[in-house]
C-alpha cells in the first residue's frame, strides 16, 4: 500500500522485464480497445442493417438467408442432405443432422486431449496442423458454396415464380401461356392475356407493381406475397 | 478525510488485497505490444471482451425502444431506425458488433490453437472457451429473429428445424424452442428472453470463469 513498497516492487518488475497490470498494461490495452470501438463506430456510420418486409408466414416466395457466419451450417446440411438421399440413407438422417455436428462439437471440446504432443510449435504437431487445415477448408468451402448457392437461388427465384404462376396464362419469348386466362366480354369479344415478352418497355416498374398488387382488366387477384412482388417487378421490368 | 473514508470502507469490504492482486500482477514483456509489435496477437481476447461490453451497452439502449411482440417488434425496430435520434447508428453498432465479435473470437481461438496454449494446466479453460463460443453463436442466432422481418422469420424457421433430428428428444426440443408447433408469437418472446436474459447471465458466468483461470494459470510463453 505505501509508497516505499510500491517503489520496491517497481524496481523488481523492471529487473524482470515485466510491467504491472495497472496502470501500465491497462493503458496499452485501452488504446487497442479504443481502436476496436472506433472501427465499430465508423463501420456503423457507413453501413446500416436493412429491415425487410414484416414477417409473413404465408410468403412462399421468400428465399431465406442466414447471417454470414452461419452459411456453412446451412450449406453443409444442404449438400450433405443431397448426398445422403442419393446414397439412400434418408432413414438415418439423424447421423448427418445430429451425430456429425455432435462429433464436431465434441472434437472441438476435446482438442487439449487430442493434442498429446509435448511440442508447442504447430509445425511440430502435424496432427493438429492437419485438423486446423481441415477445419479451415471445411468452413471456407461450405461458406463460399453457401453464398454461391444462395445467390443462384435468388437469381433463379423470379423465373421460378413466373413459371409456376404467371406462365399459366401469360407467355414470354414464346414460352408458357395458353387459353386458360382468356375471358369473353359481354359483347362476345375474347380478351387474351397479353404476351409479357416486352412488358418492361410498355409499363413502368410502378405500373407493373400496381397491376400485381391490384390487378385490372380481367386478371384475377393473386394475393401475391411481398417477396414474390419484390422479385417479379424487376424481373418483368427487365423484359424489354 | 478521503483516505479515512476509503480506509473505513476497505476495513469492512477488504477489497484492497483483491485490487492489489489484480493491479500489481506482472504482465510479461512478450505480450506487450509496445515492446514487440507482434504481441498484438495477444489482444484478440481482450478486444472480444471489449466488444462484448459494447454489445451490452448498445443492447441496453435498444431495449428501451424494442417491444417483443409480433406486431410491435417490427414496428418498434422501424421506428428506432427512422425516427429515434442515433437509433439507426445504435442498431448498426449492435449489428456490426456481432460480426466483429465472431471475427475476433475466431482470431483469438486461432492464436490459442496455434501456440498450443490449451495444454496442461489450461485444458479446462479451453473447454470454458468453447462454451463461450457456443454462447456467442447462440446470441447471433437468437438476435437474428428479433426485428421480425421476413429474413428473420424464415432463417429462424430453417435454423430451429435442425433440432428435430436430435434422437428421441428432437420433436420435444423443437416444440420447446419455438414455443409451439410453428414459429410465431411464442417463439419471438422466447428468443427475446433467451437473447437478453438467459444468454447474458450464462455469458457473464463463463467469462468470469475464463478470466479467473487466466489469472490462476498465468499467460503462456514466450515460445
Give the start-to-end residue ranges of the domains of chain B: 37-217
Q: Which residues contact A216 (CB under 8 A, 6 or more apart)?
A: none
Q: Are B11 and A3 in contact (CB under 8 A)?
A: no
A14 vs A144: which has the higher pLDDT: A144
Q: Please tell me the distance in Å from A95's CA to the nearest CA on chain B.
A: 9
Taking contacts as CB-CB distances below 8 angstroms, the residues of chain A near B151 are 52, 64-65
CB contact under 8 A, B119 and A122: no
In chain B, which residue's Cα lies nearest the Cα of A119?
A: B116
Q: Are B109 and B116 in contact (CB under 8 A)?
A: no
Where b means 16+ CB within 10 Å and e means fewer, A157-173 reads: bbeebbeeebbebbbbe
The pLDDT confidence band at residue A97, using thresholds 50, 70 and 90, is: very high
Q: State the complex-level ipTM.
A: 0.91
- In degrees and rounded to multiples of 5, residue B76 shows phi and psi of -70, -35
Q: Please tell me the distance in Å from B65's CA to the nearest CA on chain A.
A: 16
Q: Please tell me the distance in Å from B96's CA to the nearest CA on chain A.
A: 7
**Pairing assessment for the beta strands A190-191 and A18-20 based on DSSP bridges:** unpaired
Quote the pLDDT of residue A4: 60
Q: Are B190 and B179 in contact (CB under 8 A)?
A: yes
DSSP A212: H
Helices (H) and strands (E) in chain A, counts: 10, 3
The pLDDT confidence band at residue A1, using thresholds 50, 70 and 90, is: very low
B179 pLDDT more than 90: yes
CB contact under 8 A, B92 and A47: yes
Q: Please tell me the distance in Å from B144's CA to the nearest CA on chain A.
A: 8
Taking contacts as CB-CB distances below 8 angstroms, the residues of chain A near B141 are 67, 70
The pLDDT confidence band at residue B17, using thresholds 50, 70 and 90, is: confident
B38 pLDDT more than 50: yes
In chain A, which residue's Cα lies nearest the Cα of B81?
A: A51
Nearest to B77 among A24, A51, A98 (CB): A51
Q: A236: how many CB neighbours lie within 10 A of its CB?
A: 22
Task: Provide, rounded to the nearest whole percent, the portion of chain A with pLDDT above 90.
Answer: 48
Give the class (CATH, top level) of B37-217: mainly alpha
Q: What is the mean pLDDT of chain B?
A: 93
CB contact under 8 A, A51 and B78: yes
Determine which of A32, A35, A40 to mutate to test the interface with B (most B C-beta atoms within 10 Å): A40
Task: Provide, rounded to the nearest whole percent, the portion of chain B with pLDDT above 90.
Answer: 79
- The arithmetic mean of pLDDT across residues B74-96, rounded, is 96
Quote the pLDDT of residue B158: 94
Q: Which residues contact B128 (CB under 8 A, 6 or more apart)?
A: B206, B209, B210, B213
DSSP A24: I
Pairwise CA distance, residues B120 & B123, whole Å:
6
B91 vs A56: which has the higher pLDDT: B91
CA B200 distance to own-chain centroid: 7
B6 pLDDT more than 80: yes
B57 vs A3: which has the higher pLDDT: B57
Pairwise CA distance, residues B68 & B189, whole Å:
6
B221 pLDDT more than 60: yes
**A190 touching B, CB under 8 A?**
no
The pLDDT confidence band at residue B66, using thresholds 50, 70 and 90, is: very high
Determine which of A12, A44, A46, A99 to mutate to test the interface with B (most B C-beta atoms within 10 Å): A44
Residue with cell 515485466: A18
Pairwise CA distance, residues B220 & A155, whole Å:
50
Amino acid at each position: 500500500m505505501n509508497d516505499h513498497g510500491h517503489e520496491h516492487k517497481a524496481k523488481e518488475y523492471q529487473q524482470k522485464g515485466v510491467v504491472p497490470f495497472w496502470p501500465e498494461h491497462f493503458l496499452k490495452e485501452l488504446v487497442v480497445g479504443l481502436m476496436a470501438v472506433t472501427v465499430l463506430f465508423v463501420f456503423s456510420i457507413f453501413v446500416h442493417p436493412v429491415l425487410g418486409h414484416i414477417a409473413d408466414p404465408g410468403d412462399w416466395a421468400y428465399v431465406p438467408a442466414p447471417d454470414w457466419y452461419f452459411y456453412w451450417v446451412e450449406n453443409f446440411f444442404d449438400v450433405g442432405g443431397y448426398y445422403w438421399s442419393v446414397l439412400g440413407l434418408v432413414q438415418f438422417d439423424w447421423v448427418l443432422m445430429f451425430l456429425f455436428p455432435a462429433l464436431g462439437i465434441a472434437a472441438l471440446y476435446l482438442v487439449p486431449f487430442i493434442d498429446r504432443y509435448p511440442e508447442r510449435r504447430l509445425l511440430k504437431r502435424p496432427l493438429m496442423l492437419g485438423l486446423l487445415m481441415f477445419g479451415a477448408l471445411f468452413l471456407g468451402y461450405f461458406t463460399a458454396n453457401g453464398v454461391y448457392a444462395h445467390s443462384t437461388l435468388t437469381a433463379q427465384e423470379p423465373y421460378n415464380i413466373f413459371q409456376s404462376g404467371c406462365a399459366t396464362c401469360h407467355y414470354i419469348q414464346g414460352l408458357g401461356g395458353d387459353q386458360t386466362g382468356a375471358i369473353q366480354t359481354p359483347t362476345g369479344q375474347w380478351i387474351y392475356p397479353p404476351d409479357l415478352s416486352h412488358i418492361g418497355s410498355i409499363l413502368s416498374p410502378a405500373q407493373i407493381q400496381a397491376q400485381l398488387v391490384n390487378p385490372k382488366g380481367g386478371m384475377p387477384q393473386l394475393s401475391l406475397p411481398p417477396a414474390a412482388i419484390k422479385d417479379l417487378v424487376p424481373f418483368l421490368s427487365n423484359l424489354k | 478525510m478521503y483516505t479515512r473514508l476509503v480506509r473505513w470502507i476497505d476495513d469492512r469490504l477488504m477489497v484492497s488485497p483483491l485490487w492489489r492482486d489484480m493491479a500489481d500482477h506482472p504482465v510479461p514483456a512478450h505480450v506487450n505490444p509496445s515492446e514487440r509489435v507482434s504481441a498484438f496477437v495477444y489482444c484478440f481476447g481482450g478486444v472480444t471482451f471489449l466488444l462484448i461490453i459494447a454489445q451490452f451497452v448498445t443492447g441496453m439502449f435498444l431495449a428501451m425502444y424494442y417491444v417483443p411482440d409480433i406486431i410491435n417488434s417490427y414496428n418498434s425496430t422501424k421506428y428506432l431506425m427512422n425516427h429515434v435520434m442515433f437509433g439507426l447508428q445504435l442498431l448498426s453498432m449492435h449489428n456490426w458488433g456481432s460480426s466483429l465479435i465472431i471475427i475476433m473470437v475466431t482470431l483469438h481461438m486461432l492464436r490459442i490453437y496455434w501456440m498450443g496454449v490449451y495444454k496442461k494446466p489450461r485444458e479446462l479453460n479451453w473447454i470454458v472457451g468453447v462454451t463461450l463460443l457456443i454462447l456467442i453463436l447462440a446470441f447471433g442466432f437468437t438476435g437474428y429473429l428479433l426485428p421480425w422481418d421476413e429474413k428473420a422469420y424464415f432463417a429462424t424457421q430453417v435454423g430451429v428445424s435442425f433440432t428435430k433430428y436430435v434422437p428421441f428428444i428432437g420433436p420435444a426440443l423443437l416444440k420447446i424452442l419455438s414455443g409451439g408447433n410453428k414459429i410465431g408469437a411464442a417463439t419471438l418472446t422466447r428468443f427475446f428472453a433467451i437473447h437478453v436474459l438467459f444468454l447474458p447471465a450464462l455469458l457473464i458466468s463463463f467469462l468470469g470463469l475464463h478470466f479467473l483461470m487466466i489469472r490462476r494459470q498465468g499467460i503462456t510463453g514466450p515460445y
